[in-house]
Amino acid sequence: MRVGVLADLHANLVALEAVLDDLPPVDALVCAGDVIGYNPWPGACIDAMRDRAVPTIIGNHDRMLVTGRNFRGNHMARAGVDHAEQTVTDDQRAWLAGLPASRELFESQVKVVHGHPDDPDHYTYPEAFSPALLDGEAALVMGHTHVQSHEVFDEGIVLNPGSVGQPRDGDPRAAYAILDLAARQVEERRVAYDIERVQAAIAEAGLPERTGTRLEQGR
């Protein structure tokens, strides 16, 4: 079974469309959360996952929207949630609110969380990948760090596909991955997209300029 793995879309529809266009044949898609936040198209990214019935979990930005809370110290994050608050429909918000914090998929072969199996808000960077994160599943999928990486252990695979909508590993291209469960392999993939178009939409939406400029740097 081949699974397309997405995470941290962050309302970047242009990057998401580039990823979906680049996607090779797969048997299923999954999304490790943070559909909204930062960028200008939260509703469209919700619809892209919902209309395709992609098994998705709730990320910390998604959770801020549905709970009516917001970030304190991060101006860009706070502005992204405010923008989503003003633009998503009640139906789109309800879909986000119905997302679980984790999922076990494909006969429990794959577990999907946002930050860490024990803490959805914990940043689990590649240096912390270990078999101890696994609990009998063939693969653990995490997001949250926006850093693309994976490790194959005897016990299973630990994978972060990177961020579709706001990479932070020095490569500005949209990131995703293909997980081959039968072969026990991961293909990390990147695809370029029109960052200038996103920056123009960020300015039009009144979002912070830095939200756009960091996309050029993959930071």
| pLDDT tens for each residue of 152-207 | 999 999 999 999 999 999 999 999 999 999 999 999 999 999 999 999 999 999 99
Q: What phi and psi, each to the nearest 5 degrees, are found at residue 156?
A: 150, -170
Has residue 135 got a pLDDT over 90? yes
Q: Is the pLDDT of residue 73 over 90?
A: no
The mean pLDDT of 29-54, rounded to a whole number, is: 98
Q: Residue 86's pLDDT is what?
A: 97
The helix or strand, by DSSP H or E, that contains position 46, with its residue range, turns out to be: helix 42-51
Exposure on the CB side of residue 142, measured as CA atoms within 13 A? 28
Alpha-carbon distance of 89 to 192, in angstroms, equals: 30
Q: φ, ψ for residue 2 (rounded to 5)? A: -110, 125
Could you tell me the pLDDT band of residue 150, with boundaries at 50, 70 and 90? very high
Predicted pLDDT at 127:
98
Question: For residue 5, how many C-alpha atoms fall within 13 Å in the half-sphere facing its CB?
Answer: 33
**CB-CB contact of 29 with 3 (8 Å):** yes
What pTM did the predictor assign?
A: 0.97
Round to whole Å and give the CA distance between 180 and 4: 9
The pair phi, psi for residue 46, each rounded to 5°, is: -55, -50
**CA dist 51 → 9, 30, 87, 122 (Å):** 15, 13, 18, 29
- pLDDT at position 70 is 92
Instruction: Spell out the domain ranges in the chain.
Output: 2-101+163-217
Is the predicted pLDDT of residue 46 greater than 90, yes or no? yes
Q: 2-101+163-217: CATH homologous superfamily?
A: Metallo-dependent phosphatases (3.60.21.10)
What pLDDT does residue 195 have?
Answer: 98
pLDDT over 90 (residue 19):
yes
Average pLDDT, the chain: 97
Q: List pLDDT tens digits, range 79-100.
A: 999 999 999 999 999 999 999 9
